[in-house]
Amino acid sequence: MLLTMTDKELHRIRMIEDVIDRRLSGTQAARHLGVTARHVYRLVGCYKSGGVEGLLSERRGKPSNRSYPVELRSQVLAVIREHYHDFGPKLISEKLAHHHEIHLGVETLRRWMIAAGIWVPHSQRKLRIYQPRQRRDCLGELIQIDGSHHDWFEGRSPKCCLLVFIDDATGRLMHLRFSDTESTFDYLAATRRYIELHGRPVAFYSDRHSIFHVSKRDAHTARITQYGRALQELNIELICANSSQAKGRVEQANQTLQDRLIKEMRLEGINTIEEANEWLPCFIADFNDRFAKVPKFPKDLHRPFCGDVSDMDDIFAWHGTRVLSNALTFQYDKVLYLIDPTEENSRLSGETVKVLDYPDGRLAVMYGERILECRIFDKLAKVDQGQIVENKRLGAVLSLAQKKQDELERADLRTRSRRMPKRRAQQRAIGRNPALE
């Protein structure tokens, strides 16, 4: 019995025994126990009549009067096992109140789930072990890619994104490119430059960003992104990592660059993205001389691109499909295009054509391997392209949206479709292309 007592109960027993043995007076014991002398003599009587058990509460071992019924606990645990077996206590509490009209505290649910073995406390969970992975054997076998959003110019220019390409076997920086956002067209432009410099690697290793991976399970949704389609045509494998730790090489490089690259650009007086992109090859060469490793095997697995510039343009364009109407027309970016009604084209009504939207604003329409001549029938004047936001940080996009909204408040302009890629900003920077006008 003494083994189940608390320290407070053991201390009280010793005080009562001292009072009985006349080593303490009732007043002195009351002062030590924080009770009245009358209550001390009451405890002395209970000890003399019932021994040590007489000092224990009669409610010991019995359920509290404020406890929930056993039937409710069984019902709640059955509902959790059936519908919410992988939910946390907080979310379960919300779902029980919303769907089952059962209102319980989060900690009550947590205790019930722990006792039933449904929930494991964080202190008892096994640590997840991330074992280091050996580097690949050859240069160009695996290239890790990632975008790093940061205040790279320390307030001298708006925050932007640095696209990083690093070789897994050697740790070499293969290519760096600053861009306003982390979009599909930015990655396509950076990848094209990479291939022009080094050739085609065996595989790119990325995260599960929507640029690289389609997470929707809808059967009607294409299971490949525009970037994945481009790599597929180049015969380059695209591998998506399940965690940041899996592509730790490029994550560590990002941390190093956020320290060294920022300070180097400050010393060089570089304040804009254009200046930085022009200077980056010098930084890459110096960085690789200092930190690059020697590969296990000296063979370079990069393959040359077998094609001309036009093939490269087609691969790195935005590909879309349209169905021709009976009048040989299709709508793209809220612009109506007319296919030339030649004798050969007259049989194409209802057929699906491929639309190639180039970053510089050009547009090409293809049926199979044949290019179809077309012209614009109806074009909206003074319109701007809606954006597909495919970046991890929305700051730059929201800033641009606010400027556009201010312009629309002053002039009643119509907007274009939101389903098109972000290229109008690049088009304005390059200069208006009069194609198809």
Instruction: Establish if 65 belongs to a structural domain.
Output: no
Are 354 and 414 found together in one domain? yes
Are 228 and 343 found together in one domain? no
Specify the number of domains making up the chain: 4
Q: Which pLDDT belongs to residue 8?
A: 85
Average the pLDDT over 346-360 and give the result.
90
Q: Which contacts qualify for 65-71: CB closer than 8 Å, 24 or more apart?
A: 68/104, 68/108
Instruction: Establish if 280 belongs to a structural domain.
Output: yes
* β-pair type (370-372, 363-367): antiparallel
Q: Which pLDDT belongs to residue 399?
A: 60
How is residue 22 annotated by DSSP? T
Q: Please, which pLDDT band fits residue 383 given cuts at 50, 70 and 90?
A: very low
Are 76 and 201 found together in one domain? no
How many angstroms separate the CA atoms of 53 and 234, rounded? 84
How many angstroms separate the CA atoms of 152 and 280, rounded? 13
Query: How many other β-carbons are positioned within 10 Å of the β-carbon of residue 337?
Result: 24
Instruction: Establish if 63 belongs to a structural domain.
Output: no
Query: How many other β-carbons are positioned within 10 Å of the β-carbon of residue 91?
Result: 12
Please say whether the beta carbons of 193 and 277 come within 8 A.
no
CA distances from 110 to 69, 73, 77, 91, 184 (A): 17, 12, 11, 11, 44
Are 226 and 338 found together in one domain? no
Rg of the Cα atoms in the chain: 35
Are 182 and 287 found together in one domain? yes
Please say whether the beta carbons of 147 and 164 come within 8 A.
yes
Residue 300 β-bridge partners: 139
Q: Which pLDDT belongs to residue 190?
A: 95
Q: Three-class SS of residue 282?
A: helix
Instruction: Establish if 164 belongs to a structural domain.
Output: yes
Instruction: Establish if 276 belongs to a structural domain.
Output: yes
Residues in the chain: 437
Q: Which domain holds residue 261?
A: 143-291
How many angstroms separate the CA atoms of 168 and 134, rounded? 9
pLDDT, averaged across the chain: 84
Instruction: Establish if 430 belongs to a structural domain.
Output: yes
Are 120 and 161 found together in one domain? no
pLDDT tens sequence across 255-291: 999 999 999 999 999 999 999 999 999 999 999 999 9
Are 337 and 404 found together in one domain? yes
Instruction: Return all residues near 254 (Cβ < 8 A) that are at least 6 apart.
Output: 146, 148, 162, 164
φ, ψ of residue 238 to 5 degrees: the values are -115, 120
Please report, for the domain that includes residue 192, its CATH number: 3.30.420.10
Are 153 and 286 found together in one domain? yes
One-letter amino acid at 121 equals P
Tokens at residue 272, please? Answer: 């804009």
Instruction: Establish if 133 belongs to a structural domain.
Output: no
Q: Three-class SS of residue 372?
A: strand
Are 185 and 284 found together in one domain? yes
Of 24-28, 35-39, 414-418, which gets the smallest average pLDDT? Answer: 414-418
Are 373 and 321 found together in one domain? yes
